[in-house]
Amino acid sequence: MSEKRWGRNLRKIFKVLSFTEFMGLDDPFEREPSETVSDPYRSHSWVNICINILIRNVGRAPFLITRNGEEVTTGRIFSLFRDVNPGMNRCDLWKETAAWWFLEGEAFWFFGDDYSAGIPHEIYVLNPRKMRAYLHLGKVVRWFYSTDQGEIPLLPDELIHFRAWNPWNPHRGVSPLIALSDEINQDVRSNKSISKLLKNNSVPEGILKTDQVLREEEADKLERRWETSYGRNKKARSIAVLGKGTSFQALTVTPAALKSFDLKRWNLYTILASYGIPPRVANIQDQHSSLSGSDTANQHGAFWRFTVIPLLKNFEEILETQFFTRFGLIERGQFDTSRIPELQESEDEKSKRDIREIEAGLKTINDVLKERGLEPKPWGDEWHRNTPSDEKNKKSLEILEAAEHISQLMRAEGGLSTNNKQTITKDRL
């Protein structure tokens, strides 16, 4: 066979078979049934906690309908996203959509059994685990939804598909937990092992010791006598009777158990990182960070800026294509995050910024008062001018900053000599 002909045949084979099938490789994500966690939301506590944190915050941002940049509070589109369906409100709509997104990497909206064409009257969130795609010529031409009575065929025009990028299947989303299967399995097995240890290998809290050689019936008689005299709560503790030459030694935590605790902590931070949740947002005190108000506020603000808002923008873009543009609507939808406290500037930061802008000549005092909704001052329209006293105060501020810089270096390097302090001070001043 010629080289060109072999190349053409090889390309045909690749068009039919996947790379793993052609090379005879197993599915890299295939797991034995005994090693698979079928529902991590139910079996893994931190997956459950993370998803609840995420959907709880997604539900805090209201979804607004706008027309030409102005908010719309009436009309069919507004009513659809406000009322959704008889059993769901607008907050639940986004919470359920986000929950399936973080669990399965996709979510489906169905327009209802009575939908035929045009703008829908209802929206229902479907379970992605029950959805099956039917492909023709590489495109999804029909979906099948599994129920107890069988599969229900659904057309793509009846659905909106929220889908995360999937390198293995361009028609379905992929769970963000797919790369964390080993970590989740480790935690689940560790929890089962600890539960079994506490249930079956409990250590007696009370010990009766004697120098006599006891037969089994004598030991039972001694235990019953003790219970008659002093009583015993069977659910709280048990009694052990040790005969002559027998002693008791409590077992401490083994090194393997300590390693498992470290591993669980590592897995916890891996899950938090996968979902983009800072430790303080999950009420975890990071040993390398303080519990100061600024640190906590920064983590909560970062959670919104780098995790929640990008997700909301993704949802907006999906609806832009699959809903508003599909039906030729002039309305648009967007999430309003302007009133989220974590994104608001603190009063101290706002005051410092206003002072800097006044001193730089960017604003007057009345400009600042107007922004805050306060009455103007008769002298507030005059522009600020630097005076000798201002220069003196500025110099004092630079000295304080230099001293703080020296203090930070001393803490970092374990102390500095007097000569080094003087050198740094001269450099700063």
**Which regions of the chain are under pLDDT 70?**
1-37, 196-212, 226, 228-259, 286-294, 346-348, 385-403, 405-429
Please give the pLDDT value at position 31: 38
Task: Please write the tens of the pLDDT for every residue from 66-84.
Answer: 999 899 999 999 999 999 9
DSSP code at position 185: H
Please answer whether residues 354 and 346 qualify as being in contact, where contact means their C-beta atoms are separated by less than 8 angstroms. no
DSSP assignment of 22-78 equals HTTPPPTT---GGG--S-HHHH-HHHHHHHHHHHHHHTTSPEEEEETTEEE-SSHHH
pTM over 0.75: no
Please answer whether residues 159 and 109 qualify as being in contact, where contact means their C-beta atoms are separated by less than 8 angstroms. yes
Helical packing angle, 76-83 and 90-104, nearest 10°: 70
Average pLDDT in the chain: 78
Please give the pLDDT value at position 403: 67
Residue 114, φ and ψ in degrees, nearest 5: -90, 5
Tokens of 413: 């390097």
Tokens of 308: 């929640």
The residue whose two tokens read 């986004």 is: 94
Please give the pLDDT value at position 372: 77
List the domain boundaries for the chain: 1-29, 204-250, 345-428
- What is the three-class DSSP state of 173? coil
Q: Which residues contact 10 (CB under 8 A, 6 or more apart)?
A: none
Please give the pLDDT value at position 284: 86
Q: Which residues contact 99 (CB under 8 A, 6 or more apart)?
A: 51, 55
Task: Please write the tens of the pLDDT for every residue from 260-283.
Answer: 777 888 888 999 999 999 999 998
Q: Which amino acid is it at 265?
A: R
Please give the pLDDT value at position 33: 37
Q: How far is CA 120 from CA 114, 131, 259, 423, 425, in A?
A: 9, 21, 55, 73, 70
Q: Which amino acid is it at 253?
A: V
Task: Please write the tens of the pLDDT for every residue from 376-407.
Answer: 888 878 877 666 565 556 666 666 666 676 66
